[in-house]
Copies of this chain bind each other. A is one copy, B any other.
């Protein structure tokens, strides 16, 4: 049987991946957990494939790694090798990589070590920190397919500007990560390298579109990763995989060199931002390392707003949004919010309920503004190769718009968007709420193919607010998260509410999945939002995160 042309093309994408895997670190297949084993999060430690030192290194935060390298206790080379080894193992279990860059990364790490040895100085604030990179972020002389089979042979001529800045700061790029066809799934499957799995439960999605980054940081294959987010694509993977993620206000981080179907579209601005394996402090490290280089002096669409250091302030009001008024969150999520409320109150922090303001209106706006052209560009790129339209691509195409908007219709929606932003902002001020604590999704990590409802994250995209994700420390519990008699009597408010509620069925489907929370702040208050998220996390977990070892 002959292959379709697109399959040959897709195979070239797989070849790039397979040829790049450092074979010496592959675990023998017979040592791997059985495919039926859902939770593989502890496998690195249990497998014996990594040394104690390698395990310790990969469990450090980026901040800790830099500190240790600055003290001469760690070398960049051993750091990147440790993460590469863990990444190879992670890839065997989760299929999260699209390309390994081991030789280049090791060679770069050696340079950093030589520099440190020569000068006694670190190159910059990210000296020797391995960073994984979502595939559609361009890297010089490497292909960039953005999840489209038609693009598997397209080669970037330059590193994305953000990558250049991170590199100036000392970062080492060791692995590129998977994304869905079109980038527009909160899931992670394409026709090239297939589906990425969730490290806590391999029947679940790692989320998307930066799903490879979710798996990479969740499995600690990298302390930091670069994702992109236009509706939740950084935050959902972070939430689903038990890691940290941040959607900055748009026009702060540079976007030159992000390969997308519709360059120049600005109806809803996608953003680039970090995911982290270990802490919100690492997210701050990333943001500061980039913004201290004043990227607005080169990429002129950015706002010239320097990063400022903000320490958590306990004198704030946190509004808890239990429900967005449209889709009822599942029991584990509600349990996470309840814990947060209890702990915040006990810590003397002011907590109020946040009544959502027209989230359905916001969702209508953003859904229309994703594809004013009715996804014509995306469909065209799919048609070019003849690859099949995947179910969640089809779903988002049809969900969003069935026919193109006229320009005046699009402008009216953009006007509505801006009015909605100003109204929401005014409401936060008039209610005296500084930050909103909310779910990141109706439930924990979705069953593959079921991540349909975006608006616990997309709402902050249409409003262009900074939003941080962190793990609550809880995960799905078969007893605590069972449906109560009252739950079973729930009458959904709409078909969408019903669809989402019926997915839950019970905790068994979601065994092992972490429960994450989202903290959102006001426009351009990125620093304050991260500081508030740190405060909430510390209060919930009863621990002061400390970057010292």
Residues of A within 8 A of B (CB): 251, 256, 262-266, 296-301, 303-305, 372-373, 376-377, 404-408, 410-418, 421-422, 425-426, 429, 464, 523-524
Flag if B303 contacts A411 (CB, 8 Å). no
A-B pairs with lowest CB-CB distance, top 8:
A264-B415, A264-B411, A264-B414, A373-B407, A303-B303, A263-B415, A265-B411, A300-B523
Considering the complex, give the chain B residue whose CB is closest to the CB of A373. B407
A425 to B256, CA, bound (A): 15
A406 to B415, CA, bound (A): 20
Number of copies: 2
B contact residues around A418 at 8 Å (CB): 264, 300-301
Considering the complex, give the chain B residue whose CB is closest to the CB of A416. B264
B contact residues around A416 at 8 Å (CB): 264
Considering the complex, give the chain B residue whose CB is closest to the CB of A377. B408
B contact residues around A376 at 8 Å (CB): 406-408
Known: A264-B416, A266-B414, A407-B373. A421 touches B301 (CB 8 A): yes
Flag if B373 contacts A412 (CB, 8 Å). no
Question: Please, could you name 5 A-B residue pairs with CB atoms under 8 Å apart, sorted by A?
Answer: A263-B415, A300-B421, A301-B418, A304-B305, A376-B408
A307 to B410, CA, bound (A): 33
Flag if B422 contacts A299 (CB, 8 Å). yes
A523 to B251, CA, bound (A): 14
A376 to B407, CA, bound (A): 9
Considering the complex, give the chain B residue whose CB is closest to the CB of A465. B300
Q: How far is the CB of A260 from chain B (nearest CB, A)?
A: 10
B contact residues around A412 at 8 Å (CB): 263-264
A422 to B298, CA, bound (A): 6
Flag if A266 contacts B266 (CB, 8 Å). yes
Considering the complex, give the chain B residue whose CB is closest to the CB of A412. B264
B contact residues around A299 at 8 Å (CB): 422
Q: How far is the CB of A524 from chain B (nearest CB, A)?
A: 5
A517 to B417, CA, bound (A): 39
B contact residues around A296 at 8 Å (CB): 523-524
Flag if B262 contacts A425 (CB, 8 Å). no
A165 to B262, CA, bound (A): 38
Flag if B264 contacts A298 (CB, 8 Å). no
Q: How far is the CB of A517 from chain B (nearest CB, A)?
A: 24
Considering the complex, give the chain B residue whose CB is closest to the CB of A523. B300
B contact residues around A405 at 8 Å (CB): 407
Known: A373-B406, A406-B373, A425-B298. A263 touches B304 (CB 8 A): no
A416 to B412, CA, bound (A): 24
A264 to B415, CA, bound (A): 4
Flag if A422 contacts B256 (CB, 8 Å). yes
Considering the complex, give the chain B residue whose CB is closest to the CB of A376. B408
Q: How far is the CB of A209 from chain B (nearest CB, A)?
A: 19
Flag if A251 contacts B421 (CB, 8 Å). no
Q: How far is the CB of A272 from chain B (nearest CB, A)?
A: 15
A264 to B523, CA, bound (A): 19
Q: How far is the CB of A112 from chain B (nearest CB, A)?
A: 28
Considering the complex, give the chain B residue whose CB is closest to the CB of A426. B298
Flag if B298 contacts A265 (CB, 8 Å). no
Considering the complex, give the chain B residue whose CB is closest to the CB of A414. B264
Q: How far is the CB of A58 from chain B (nearest CB, A)?
A: 38
Flag if B298 contacts A414 (CB, 8 Å). no
Known: A298-B426, A422-B256. A408 touches B303 (CB 8 A): no
B contact residues around A411 at 8 Å (CB): 262-266
Most buried by B among A408, A410, A413: A408
